[in-house]
Structure 1
Amino acid sequence: MIESRGNKVVLIGTGAVGSSYAFSMLNQGVCDELVLIDLNEQKSMGDVMDLNHGVLYAPTSTKISFGKYKDCFDAALVVICAGANQKPGETRLELVEKNMAIFKNIVGQVMDSGFDGIFLIATNPVDILTYATWKFSGLPKERVIGSGTILDTARFRYLLGENFGVAPHSVHASIIGEHGDTEVAVWSSANIAGIPLKDYLAKDEGEDQEEKMKEIAEQVRDAAYEIIEAKGSTYYGIAMGLTRISRAILQNQDVVLTVSALLEGEFSHNDVYIGVPAVINRQGVRDVVEIPLSEHEKELFDHSVHTIKKAQEPFWK
């Protein structure tokens, strides 16, 4: 049973995202043991040394080590950050072919170890690669999770908080759909302390409400491209999001997060991994939460589903 596996986490891929995730996990004291795996063994071993030198100042004495795929056998959670990176001007979907082959090899080696825990996927295009991990692993759908729109939702709530002068924690709003260009900002149910955001927007006299909403949604959608142009890749935000999901799993929190989960009739769609609100606990995805959508939001979400299915279809004929 997963419950008996302790809080051991194996991280595969110690590039910018993976090493940032390891640093975040150590700082928050989320797991008892963290094992790092990477093709670049020298770099990964350096990360292990560097992280261990910070254990004294962490909230708990996390055991951190360099490992091999055989070390996945008793892990509660395997987090995959390995794969080809998104280059400037390249969309997440253009990464599909390169990363599909990489994932078939990685997931195969993890499963050969006897692993029977939960997969958490961060590599882009995350929805397609989470679906691939589910297929390659043969694990139940609830135990294969993608980071989905966890970062997009964080960007959305941050920008809304900045706009309205409240902490992001007080903003209740979601980005759903593909983690990419077809993502959907759910304005219809977005609120601050129960007050609809549209009411807040209406208070700004002389400002076009629809134009402001469009501007914020575009800022969220295009944030990754802006960051990639500035420094090559995004990693701090997604690392924090991955840590949040990991904590929800390992601490059995039953918290709702916007992750990539398999739809089986929810939102009127099937056989696709996509970013949706879901209850996360020690079993993985307990339930997908079908938040109400406006007709326009439904149309946008349908388009997002179609985009993902079209991109991954050639691999599963």
Structure 2
Amino acid sequence: MNKQKCAVIGCGFVGASIAFSLIQEEMFSELVLIDINQTKAEGEAMDLSHGLPFVHPMKIYAGTYADLADCFLIIITAGAGQRPGETRLELVRKNVEIFRDMIPQITAVTQDARLLIVSNPVDVMTYAAWKLSGYPPEHVIGSGTVLDTARLKYLLGAHLGVDSRSVHAFIIGEHGDSELAVWSSANISGVDLDSFCDICGACDGETLHRLYEDVRTSAYKVIEKKGATYYAIALAVTRIARAIVREEHSVLPVSAYVNGHYGVSDVYFGVPSIVGAEGVEKVLDIPLDGSEQQQLEHSVQTLKDVIAGLDL
């Protein structure tokens, strides 16, 4: 297995943006692009390759599933796009059928890769990829609520007038309408959020709820305005890839397999986890207050209800 080899399956807006983001990092020496439209993959590979004199040497090419045999990280973005007004969960049946065809083609050539799922609805699709692949659950990861958490940090930082990198707060649960903000443990560089707000007089419960709603509806607003979201998710996926390839043991709210944590089992959802070379190395049980626990249980049940109808 070549730890410096990565593949992106699906060369639409999201896949191409991820590939563009990845070539600016010195993580990989080889990048394979795969798409049902081979000509599209070839065009993206050519376009990206023409920029290599500005970054670092690597091989970029349009390939086939056979090229995945020694691939360490396989990023899957393939699937139907989310249409204006359509929820992520409404995409599920179309995309599961795509996975039923695609995943066996991956497992036919490799059993050792790390799968990073980006296709929506990402939590259900990550569960489907795990079931269909037979891989260890820690080797099958979804992008989860990494982007949602970044949106929360950005919006809360902008509201408070602080660098978003100083904001420490998580969105967890479904990457979708039932996700929740964990306000009870949120802090600004170690200063409890409530205390920080008391000092600055900058927010109250109503304001925090509005910020959460802005996070939850962000994708819909972007899709309405420009047709798709792809730049921010590309950066989020690159962050996850870096944690895996460089064995960073970073804490990120990826979509991880949860079996016993938070009182729930046999489900994937966005949850703070230690991410490294093995994929999800440990799921973390961060403190939740009573209301947050109830919201998480509702979010998980939403996902399990969908999974139950998929015959996986």
**What is the TM-score when the length of structure 1 is the normalising length?**
0.96
Cross-structure match for 1:17: 14
- Aligned residue for 1:95, secondary structure, equals helix
2:211 is aligned with 1:250: no
Give CA deviations for 1:286-314 in whole Å, capped at 9, x if unaligned: 00011000100000000000000001101
| AA in 2 matched with 1:231 | K
Cross-structure match for 2:261: 266
Aligned-pair CA distance for 1:204: 4.9
Structure 2: give runs of 5+ residues left out of the alignment: none
Alpha-carbon distance between aligned partners in 1 of 2:262 and 2:110, rounded to the nearest angstrom: 34
2:3–2:73: 8 Å Cα contact kept in structure 1?
no
Cross-structure match for 1:69: 65
Structure 1 segments of 4+ aligned residues over 3 angstroms from their partners? none
Aligned-pair CA distance for 1:69: 0.4
Q: 1:147 aligns with which of 118, 143, 148?
A: 143
Alpha-carbon distance between aligned partners in 1 of 2:257 and 2:65, rounded to the nearest angstrom: 26
Q: 1:108 aligns with which of 99, 104, 117?
A: 104
Structure 1: give runs of 5+ residues left out of the alignment: none
Q: 2:83 aligns with which of 82, 87, 101?
A: 87
2:69–2:109: 8 Å Cα contact kept in structure 1?
yes
Q: 1:27 aligns with which of 24, 29, 52?
A: 24
Q: 1:98 aligns with which of 94, 97, 100?
A: 94
2:258–2:265: 8 Å Cα contact kept in structure 1?
yes
Aligned-pair CA distance for 1:262: 0.5
Alpha-carbon distance between aligned partners in 1 of 2:64 and 2:97, rounded to the nearest angstrom: 19
Cross-structure match for 2:231: 236
Alpha-carbon distance between aligned partners in 2 of 1:27 and 1:278, rounded to the nearest angstrom: 25
Give CA deviations for 1:213-268 in whole Å, capped at 9, x if unaligned: 11100000000000000000100010100001011101111000010001110111
Aligned pairs, how many? 312
2:197 is aligned with 1:201: yes
1:75–1:115: 8 Å Cα contact kept in structure 2?
no
User: Which structure 2 residues correspond to residues 114-193 of structure 1 after superposition, within 5 A?
Assistant: 114-193=110-189
Alpha-carbon distance between aligned partners in 2 of 1:199 and 1:219, rounded to the nearest angstrom: 23
| AA in 2 matched with 1:198 | D
Aligned-pair CA distance for 1:6: 2.3
Q: 1:208 to 1:153 in 2, by over 3 A?
A: closer
**What is the TM-score when the length of structure 2 is the normalising length?**
0.98
- Aligned residue for 2:68, secondary structure, equals helix
- Aligned residue for 1:107, secondary structure, equals helix
| AA in 1 matched with 2:82 | Q
Give CA deviations for 1:116-150 in whole Å, capped at 9, x if unaligned: 21100000000000000000000000000000001
Aligned-pair CA distance for 1:44: 1.2
1:72–1:115: 8 Å Cα contact kept in structure 2?
no
